[in-house]
């Protein structure tokens, strides 16, 4: 399989300024020793180009260029899934319909396997969970033909998953993955839309109750001390706290590098692109939680460009959080996911809901409103502020 394309920005590639003293900013697409360039439509003067970071200094131009790169990445991803490969020449098809592959007499199991392998090249964060679904599916039945993808087969697969003593919502997630590849098969004209078994099959899910830390519980985590043999535990604590202070999801915190931080006269600003939504954002770390996330960033910012929390996988952090909760006398089964709920719950009690919406990159205000839940102690505090006379 061909290597994935490497994308970067280039300025003044031809070493020539126009009459206004500007040169174009281009997108460089690189693969296997070959490069191709695409115009962004933007030109800047040399003093408005950051040669160290290889990006425009103007934030609006930079974000527009990043959006163009994201569009190219999306096209590459879609093309790979359909055609099982991608080269620089395939960018010629970007403004036309992606060619459909010839239909092959493959099984649904093999189709799932092939699609998953194409996604692995793109390093999608959810790849492992989709692979786990495939492993269960193959254990359920070694090879499922397209003609066997029916309502009764999905019923039997659910019964099989129940024998594994899995949580209802975990089973629902496996159904979600199977349904995803059935839809892919429909788009590839290997299954008729009306033959999709999920048209009639209802997936059961248990209601999920969000969990968060109170400010008092956060304080107890902050005050924990560690000996020389507990460095990993301390790193997991700090990674979780950084999530609580910024509202960033695990994958966004995990990939943070020193290059994501911009030092200003006021303090550190974090510039990032959310892994889940691809939205670009900024975090004024010196303003959030009295500058606590800035202190953590400076603590772990290495001299080289490796990630701040290198090696701390989600399962490893979640396992450590159980021990940390016990040490901090927090009677909750903490997970890293709780850090985002903690951020939203605390922030919404201190800032206008529109600010919280922007900080959490929500598209709709109704999504932000779910953090309007109060603990008994918070409820008492709010009631005590009311002047009844």
Q: Are residues 190 and 251 in the same domain?
A: no
Report helix, strand and coil shares of the chain as percent, to nearest 5: 50, 10, 40
What are 322-372's pLDDT values in tens digits? 999 999 999 999 999 999 999 999 998 889 999 999 999 999 988 888 887
Q: At what angle do helices 127-140 and 108-120 cross, to 10 degrees?
A: 160
Give how far the C-alpha of residue 287 lies from the chain's centroid of Cα atoms, to the nearest Å.
24
DSSP state of 386: -
* End position of a domain, from candidates 199, 229, 246: 199
Same structural domain for residues 195 and 261?
A: no
Query: Is residue 383 domain-resident?
Result: no
pLDDT at 297: 95
Helix (H, G, I), strand (E, B) or coil at 37: strand
Looking at per-residue pLDDT, the higher value among 121 and 229 belongs to 229
How confident is the model at residue 276, as a pLDDT? 83
What is the pLDDT confidence band of residue 73, given thresholds at 50, 70 and 90? confident
242 burial (CB, 10 Å; 0-12 / 13-18 / 19+) is: buried
Question: What dihedral do alpha carbons 341, 277, 266, 223 form, nearest 10°?
Answer: 30
pLDDT of residue 381 exceeding 80, the answer is: no
Structural domain count, the chain: 3
* pLDDT interval class at 57 (50, 70, 90): very high
- Spatial distance between the Cα atoms of 319 and 170, rounded to a whole number of angstroms: 18
Q: Give residues with Cβ within 8 angstroms of 202, minimum separation 6.
A: none
Percent of the chain with pLDDT strictly greater than 70: 91
> Which residue did the predictor score with more confidence, 277 or 30?
30
Domain endpoint, select from 66, 93, 120: 93
Residues 251 and 179 grouped into a single domain: no
CATH number of the CATH domain containing 358: 1.10.443.10
- How far apart are alpha carbons 340 and 213 in whole angstroms? 10
What is the enclosing helix (H) or strand (E) of 112?
helix 108-120
Higher per-residue pLDDT: 26 or 187: 26
Side-chain-facing half-sphere of 70: CA atoms under 13 Å: 14
* φ/ψ (deg, to 5) at 308: -65, -35
29, pLDDT greater than 50: yes
**If you average pLDDT over residues 269-293, what whole number do you get?**
93
Q: Assess whether 181 and 245 both reside in one domain.
A: no
Quote the tokens at residue 7.
Answer: 């994308």
Cβ–Cβ under 8 Å, residues 320 and 232: yes
Q: How far apart are CA 354 and CA 356, in angstroms?
A: 5
Q: For residue 117, tell me if it sits in a domain.
A: yes
Coil, helix or strand for 102? coil
Residues 6+ apart with CB under 8 A from 285: 245, 246, 261, 267, 268, 269, 270, 291, 293, 294, 297
| 274 and 309 both lie in a single domain | yes
Asked if residue 389 belongs to a domain, the reply is no
Mean pLDDT score of the chain: 88
Highest mean pLDDT among 101-110, 203-212, 306-315: 306-315
For residue 121, tell me if it sits in a domain.
yes
> 304 pLDDT exceeds 80?
no
Which pLDDT score, from 0 to 100, does residue 103 have? Answer: 46
Same domain, 237 and 367: yes
Which domain covers residue 37, as residue numbers? Answer: 6-93
User: What are the tens digits of pLDDT across the range 131-178?
Assistant: 999 999 999 999 999 989 999 999 999 999 999 988 898 999 999 999
Residues 134 and 234 in one domain: no
Among the candidates 174, 199, 224, a domain finishes at 199
Q: What pLDDT sits at residue 121?
A: 66
Report yes or no on 380 lying in a domain.
no
- Whether 100 is covered by a domain: the verdict is no
Long-range contacts of 305-310 (CB under 8 A, 24+ apart): 305/257, 305/258, 305/259, 306/257, 307/254, 307/255, 307/256, 307/257, 308/256, 308/257, 308/258, 309/235, 309/239, 309/253, 309/254, 309/256
Return the pLDDT at 188: 83
Same domain, 220 and 340: yes
My answer on whether 326 and 355 are in the same domain is yes
Q: How confident is the model at residue 125 (pLDDT cuts 50, 70, 90)?
A: low
> Could you tell me which of 303, 301, 248 has the C-alpha nearest to residue 272?
248
The reported pLDDT for the residue numbered 246 is: 97
Going by the DSSP 8-state scheme, the letter that residue 56 receives in this structure is: E
- Percent of the chain at pLDDT above 90? 64
85 shares its domain with 14: yes
Mean pLDDT across 85-93: 86
- Half-sphere exposure of 113 toward its Cβ, with a 13 Å CA cutoff? 12
- Close Cβ partners of 166 (under 8 Å, ≥ 6 residues apart): 174
E strand intervals along the chain: 6-11, 23-31, 34-44, 49-50, 55-56, 261-263, 268-273, 280-284
Contact between 55 and 65 under an 8 Å Cβ cutoff? The reply is yes
Both 287 and 191 in a single domain?
no
Q: pLDDT grade, residue 92 (50/70/90)?
A: confident
Confidence label for 78 from pLDDT (cuts 50, 70 and 90) = confident
Per-residue pLDDT tens digits for 214-253:
999 999 999 999 999 999 999 999 999 999 999 999 999 9
Same domain flag for 245 and 322: yes
Q: At residue 2, does pLDDT exceed 80?
A: no
Q: Provide the pLDDT for residue 101.
A: 46
Q: Does a structural domain hold residue 316? A: yes
Does 157 map to a domain? yes
Residue of 256 and 95 predicted with greater confidence: 256
């Amino acid at each position: 399989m061909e290597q994935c394309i490497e994308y970067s920005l280039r300025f003044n590639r031809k070493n020539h300024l126009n009459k206004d003293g500007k040169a174009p900013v281009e997108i460089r697409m690189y693969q296997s020793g070959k490069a191709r360039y695409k115009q962004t439509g933007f030109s800047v003067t040399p003093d408005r180009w950051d040669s160290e970071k290889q990006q425009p200094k103007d934030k609006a131009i930079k974000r527009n260029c990043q959006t163009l790169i994201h569009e190219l990445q999306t096209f590459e991803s879609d093309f790979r899934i359909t055609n099982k490969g991608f080269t620089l020449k395939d960018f010629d098809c970007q403004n036309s319909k992606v060619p459909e592959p010839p239909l092959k007499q493959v099984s649904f199991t093999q189709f799932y396997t092939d699609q998953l392998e194409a996604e692995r090249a793109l390093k999608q964060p959810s790849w492992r969970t989709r692979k786990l679904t495939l492993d269960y599916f193959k254990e359920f039945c070694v090879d499922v033909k397209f003609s066997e993808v029916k309502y009764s087969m999905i019923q039997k697969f659910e019964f099989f998953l129940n024998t594994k003593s899995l949580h209802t919502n975990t089973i629902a997630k496996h159904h979600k993955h199977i349904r995803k590849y059935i839809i892919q098969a429909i788009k590839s004209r290997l299954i008729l839309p009306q033959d999709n078994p999920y048209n009639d099959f209802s997936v059961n899910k248990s209601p999920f109750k969000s969990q968060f830390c109170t400010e008092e519980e956060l304080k107890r985590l902050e005050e924990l001390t560690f000996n020389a043999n507990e460095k990993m535990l301390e790193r997991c604590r700090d990674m979780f706290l950084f999530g609580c202070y910024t509202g960033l999801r695990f994958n966004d915190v995990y990939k943070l590098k020193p290059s994501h931080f911009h030092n200003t006269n006021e303090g550190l600003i974090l510039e990032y692109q959310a892994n889940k939504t691809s939205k670009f954002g900024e975090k004024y770390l010196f303003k959030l939680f009295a500058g606590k996330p800035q202190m953590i960033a400076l603590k772990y910012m290495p001299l080289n460009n490796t990630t701040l929390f290198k090696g701390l996988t989600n399962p490893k952090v979640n396992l450590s959080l159980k021990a940390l909760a016990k040490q901090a006398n927090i009677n909750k089964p903490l997970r890293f996911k709780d850090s985002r709920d903690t951020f939203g719950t605390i922030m919404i009690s201190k800032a206008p809901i529109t600010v919280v919406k922007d900080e959490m990159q929500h598209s709709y205000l109704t999504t932000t409103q779910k953090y309007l839940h109060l603990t008994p102690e918070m409820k008492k505090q709010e009631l005590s502020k009311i002047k009844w006379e």
